[in-house]
Copies of this chain bind each other. A is one copy, B any other.
Amino acid sequence: MIFAACDLGGTNTRAALIDETGRILSRVSQSTLQSSADALIDSVIRLITAIATEDCPGLAALDGIAVAVAGTVDSISGTVVTSPNLPFADTPLRDRLSAAFGRPVIIENDALAAALGEARFGAGRGAGDVVMLAIGTGIGGGIVVDGRPYRGTAGGAGEIGHMVIDPAGPLCACGRHGCLEAMAAGPAIAARARAAVKKTTDTAILEIAGEDIAAITAETVGRAAAAGDPLAQGILEAVAEIIGVGAANIANLLNPAVIILGGGVMTGDKIILETARRVVRDTALAPNRDASIVAAALGGDAGLLGAASLCLK
């Protein structure tokens, strides 16, 4: 079998042909068009059509078409209800694409699709109950229950980044204080580093950032930590303790077999993974503390693979 999947993110729109084992046969991408819903939908149609006609006998040969979208998806109506980073609002994306292709189309939230991809083909393979945290500019989440995507009543489930874990914490973009996202995503790591380098010069962070405090990002901190810089390692450990609190909360609430940590912040260092693993093991209740805390395995392909897998059932 062969499926076409598209991952519609705030920055890039990517499409791929994928077989039933989760192998990516070919791929294409472009910058996401932000001018209008119509322009964006047309670009998705063009990308999928292109990949299906160039690398496959055509659209009619596809066994399914699925699109992962960075927004809240109502799976009953096939509508993108809201999206912080795409020009969609109550947009009937599924029916628009179905009409264009003359075929059924599945749409899904991108974080949930990524969790499903990891659960079926990646770091959660073989486990039924899997939760994924994608830690980058924000903290996204996806919940997989018994191998199936858990959407909640209106497609809003999985907002793990907006779990308050300290009501006195920093203001979050959502308006609350002390959300996990406000305390432990990339910008929080960068903010800690910027504050720290003002107090000491004994760190590689500033050098890596080209001596420009404003240029410090979470990636800067990650590189400095990987190079053995104690200040950077301390910052990541402190943030990882907070991620660990969030992961332990998830373990106590949902008792998943596997909690997957992914996203740009997780790339290239073990400190966050190991610290979060220790916090869950030491602080969650039995048997919830037995959750495996693992790194994502599929990188940026998780959403494409998870979306494609929705065509399988």
Q: Chain A interface (Cβ within 8 Å of chain B)?
A: 72, 81-82, 127-129, 141, 143, 145, 150-160, 162-168, 174-176, 242, 245, 248-250, 252-257, 283-288, 290-291
Contact A255/B157 with A145-B145, A164-B248 known, Cβ cut-off 8 Å: yes
Set of chain B residues within 8 Å of A283, measured between Cβ atoms:
174-176
Residue pair B162, A165 in contact (C-beta under 8 Å): no
B287 near A156: Cβ-Cβ < 8 Å? yes
- Evaluate contact between B253 and A157: CB separation under 8 angstroms: yes
Return the contact of A164 from the options B72, B82, B165, B175 (Cβ within 8 A): B165
Q: B154 near A255 (CB under 8 angstroms)? A: yes
A86–B65 Cα gap in the complex (Å)?
53
Shortest beta-carbon contacts, A-B, top 7: A152-B255, A156-B255, A154-B287, A159-B252, A157-B255, A153-B257, A156-B288
Q: How many copies does the complex hold?
A: 2
A287 touches B72 (CB 8 A): yes
B255 contacts A163, C-beta separation under 8 Å: no
Are A164 and B245 within 8 A (Cβ)? yes
Task: For A145, list chain B residues within 8 Å (CB).
Answer: 145, 150
Among candidates B129, B160, B174, residue contacting A253 with C-beta atoms closer than 8 Å: B160
A284 to B153: give the CA distance in the assembly, Å.
14
Residues of B within 8 A of A128 (CB): 153
Q: How far is the CB of A180 from chain B (nearest CB, A)?
A: 10
Q: Contact check, B82 vs A153: say whether CB atoms are below 8 A apart.
A: no
Query: With A and B bound together, what is the CA distance between A283 and B162 in angstroms?
Result: 10
* Residue of chain B at shortest CB distance from A242: B167
A286 and B156 in contact, given A164-B165, A166-B166, A167-B165 (Cβ under 8 angstroms): yes
Knowing A165-B165, A176-B283, A287-B72, say if A254 contacts B81 (CB, 8 Å). no
Given A145-B150, A156-B286, A163-B163, output 16 extra A-B contacts at Cβ < 8 Å.
A81-B286, A81-B287, A143-B253, A153-B256, A153-B257, A154-B290, A157-B253, A157-B288, A163-B249, A164-B165, A164-B248, A165-B166, A166-B168, A176-B248, A249-B249, A253-B253
Separation of A250 and B254 alpha carbons in the complex (Å): 11
Could you say which residues of chain B place their CB within 8 Å of the CB of A152?
A: 129, 254-256, 288
Assess whether B252 is in contact with A151, with CB atoms less than 8 Å apart: no
Give 22 A-B contacts (CB < 8 Å), ordered by A residue: A127-B153, A129-B152, A152-B255, A153-B255, A153-B287, A154-B255, A154-B287, A155-B255, A155-B287, A156-B252, A156-B255, A156-B285, A157-B254, A159-B253, A159-B255, A162-B252, A164-B165, A165-B165, A165-B167, A167-B245, A168-B168, A249-B249
